């Protein structure tokens, strides 16, 4: 929009003017509509720019407060006198709760009495954790007749539980008598 106007270069291809007949009023109306739209867009952009500049000016005028240094924060936290005065201020400004009934009055009296006699609650002493002498997983390790399989024997062997694998193989002998020799050979091998 700000570049200098250039001379329009006309194409060298000749177009038969008789073939294209566009009424001049149509071209004028379309050009006017386009011109109006461009002017409207420019006004809209100028208004946006003005609002943006106003916002920036306002933000520059309002300077934010600097953050306190770590030393200042530590110094304010380490002043017990100020904390005590704060507690006193809270106690003085504390509103008395007006009990609505006899039961609520009794509860408030109990709380006030507790605060007077024991203002702090001591932490419970750590107790030694209760460790059972027996294995808690033992009851769940008992295998029923329906769960015993050769895969279970393989799992027990991978876990290093040879005695349980031998028990499972004995149950498999009863479950599959046709494989008795195979299971017996495995039992003998495990006992070695």
Tens of pLDDT along the chain (192 residues) come to: 565 665 555 555 454 444 555 555 555 777 888 889 999 999 999 999 999 998 888 888 776 555 556 555 555 555 556 667 777 776 766 666 667 788 888 888 888 888 778 767 677 777 777 666 676 676 666 666 678 899 999 999 999 999 999 999 999 999 999 999 999 999 999 998
Could you tell me the CA-to-CA distances from 45 to 3, 35, 55, 75, 126 in Å, in that order?
A: 19, 15, 15, 52, 71
Closest alpha carbon to 162 in 187, 185, 138, 181: 187
Identify whether the C-beta of residue 188 lies closer than 8 Å to the C-beta of residue 179: no
pLDDT at residue 47 in the model: 93
Structure-token match 């027990």, residue found: 156
pTM, two decimal places: 0.30
Give phi and psi for 140, each to the nearest 5.
-80, -10
pLDDT at residue 151 in the model: 93
Structure-token match 């038969």, residue found: 16
pLDDT at residue 124 in the model: 78
- Nearest-10 Cα torsion for 136, 139, 142, 144: -140
* Residue ranges in the chain assigned as alpha helix (H): 24-61, 70-77, 80-93, 102-117, 150-158, 162-175, 180-191
Structure tokens at 76: 């304010």
Structure-token match 């006899």, residue found: 102
């Amino acid at each position: 929009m700000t570049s200098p106007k250039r001379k329009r270069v006309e194409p060298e291809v000749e177009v038969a003017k008789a073939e294209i007949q566009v009424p001049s009023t149509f071209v004028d109306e379309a050009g006017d509509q386009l011109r109006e739209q461009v002017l409207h867009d420019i006004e809209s952009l100028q208004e946006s720019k003005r609002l943006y500049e106003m916002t920036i000016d306002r933000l520059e005028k309002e300077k934010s407060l600097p953050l306190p240094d770590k030393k200042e924060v530590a110094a304010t936290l380490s002043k017990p006198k100020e904390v005590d005065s704060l507690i006193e201020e809270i106690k003085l400004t504390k509103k008395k709760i007006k009990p609505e009934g006899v039961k609520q009055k009794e509860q408030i009296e109990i709380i006030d009495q507790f605060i007077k006699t024991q203002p702090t609650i001591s932490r419970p002493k750590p107790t030694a954790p209760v460790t059972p002498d027996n294995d808690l997983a033992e009851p769940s390790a008992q295998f029923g007749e329906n769960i015993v399989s050769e895969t279970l024997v393989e799992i027990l062997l991978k876990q290093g539980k040879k005695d349980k694998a031998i028990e499972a193989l004995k149950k498999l002998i009863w479950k599959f008598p046709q494989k008795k020799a195979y299971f017996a050979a495995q039992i003998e091998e495990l006992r070695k």
